[in-house]
Amino acid sequence: MFLLFSNNGKIIFMLLSIIIPCYNEAKAIKNNVEEKVIPFLKTLGINYELILVNDGSKDETMEVIETIEGVIAIGYETNRGKGGAIKYGIEHASGDYILFMDADLSTDLVAFNELIPLLGQFDLIIGSRHLKKSEMPVKQPLIRRFVGKSCRVLVNANYGFRLKDTQCGFKAIRSEYAKFMAAKQLVNRFAVDVEYLYIAKLNNWSIKEIPVIWRNDRSTTVSIFKSSKQFIKDMLKIKKNKKNYLFEKGEK
């Protein structure tokens, strides 16, 4: 059972909702979840729910995830993007904290060992590929490294962040705030990470970066140029929505 001790000594039982967006993952998702994710989570002794979101896949992803025991399989027919799948997952989550992670397990599951002790201490705990203790055993291609670094500089400059990594697909958020973020969310693609972090910054919510072991997925079909163009458009959209992101106590 997953529990934490509060400042006044009371025992708090906590549920962690874990969301995995899935797009055309029919070939790999069953093995990743049944042979890697679930066995690892069981070793942690935590109370969790695992939510797999089919993001309008063109293959048999929905049919596959429905066969996996011990998960909540949900989805929709038309592809929305990573952000859309995260939003849908958050809307169906019931945990005290809500975490989202990539279906290809680019972030090594040992990141949970860094994460668990910090729950209850910070509002957002986010994986970072660029801390001193982080590891990237397989280097990304030069063009992806260039675009990634440019993205970090651009995002930090525009939003006043001091973060080493905004785009790592491993983030846990206090549930009350995650629900608010999803309700206010404007973008459905890769800039959703920036949108969530910007909302957190505007509301002075605490953010903690943790080191991760990250392996590049060389089989990805995402167009780096097309996604970069959309990313910039979404960044402008997010900045213009500043007033709508302010949180009032009791609002969800």
Euclidean distance between the first and final Cα of the chain, in Å?
27
Tens digit of each residue's pLDDT (9 = 90 or more) over 158-199: 888 889 999 999 999 999 999 999 999 999 988 999 999 999
Cα separation, 199 vs 181, whole angstroms: 7
Cα separation, 252 vs 242, whole angstroms: 17
- Please say if the pLDDT value at position 252 is more than 90: no
Q: Does this model's pTM top 0.95?
A: no
Residue type at 155?
A: V
- Please say if the pLDDT value at position 11 is more than 50: no
Tens digit of each residue's pLDDT (9 = 90 or more) over 213-248: 998 765 555 556 567 778 888 888 998 999 999 997
- Please say if the pLDDT value at position 122 is more than 50: yes
**CB–CB of 100/182 below 8 Å?**
no
C-alpha dihedral, 61 to 62 to 67 to 72, nearest 10°: 120
Q: Determine the 3-state secondary structure of 170 from DSSP.
A: strand
Domains in the chain: ranges and CATH? 3-245 (3.90.550.10)
